[in-house]
Amino acid sequence: MHAAFGTPASRDLPIVALLLTVAFAGFGDSPLVALAACLAIVTPRLYRHDVLEHRLPNRLIVPGYPLAIASLFAAALPRGEVPWVALGAGGVMFTLFLVLALAGGMGMGDVKLAGLLGLSAGALGAEAAIASVGVAFFLGGLQAVAARRHRERSIPFGPSLLAGYWTTVTAAAAWA
């Protein structure tokens, strides 16, 4: 076990508190805030895992899927709607990252995380979903350039995905 995994959860509290504030600002009192809150809680651990091990554990991502579906429908059904944009965004991001993984450019943890973040960002609208992945690729590109200078062969992409998502939620809260 790497020393950073043994750090007390209390070290994550300031980051989690900040991300929870962003989640509530971005999603308000909608049932969708449950998914964003869940993502806020796991973000520091996902970041650490991916940076240190180049791995995003299923136990931190997969439980978000049923929560995502439940919160999307809990928010949409009272209005007589189906959350097509969010479902489409999650499906498109999952598929895009699966193609990249099959081509050798991403890991399967990135695929699962991208789909989940697509569902949540898509709940804010198609523009938010596109912005989320756009920011992630921009940040990942910067990281790749820096890694190449240091002759590193691969970079963890999960932190870029998470940063893209949280940047988009922050922007959505500011625009609201």
**3-state helix/strand/coil string of the chain:** CCHHHHCCHHHHHHHHHHHHHHHHHHHCCCCCHHHHHHHHHHHHHHHHHHHHHCCCCHHHHCCHHHHHHHHHHHHHHHHCCCCHHHHHHHHHHHHHHHHHHHCCCCCHHHHHHHHHHHHHHHCCCHHHHHHHHHHHHHHHHHHHHHHHHCCCCCCCCHHHHHHHHHHHHHHHHHHC
**Residues 85-118: tens digit of each pLDDT:** 999 999 999 999 999 999 998 999 999 999 999 9
**Residues 10-69: tens digit of each pLDDT:** 789 999 999 999 999 999 999 999 999 999 999 999 999 999 999 999 999 999 999 999
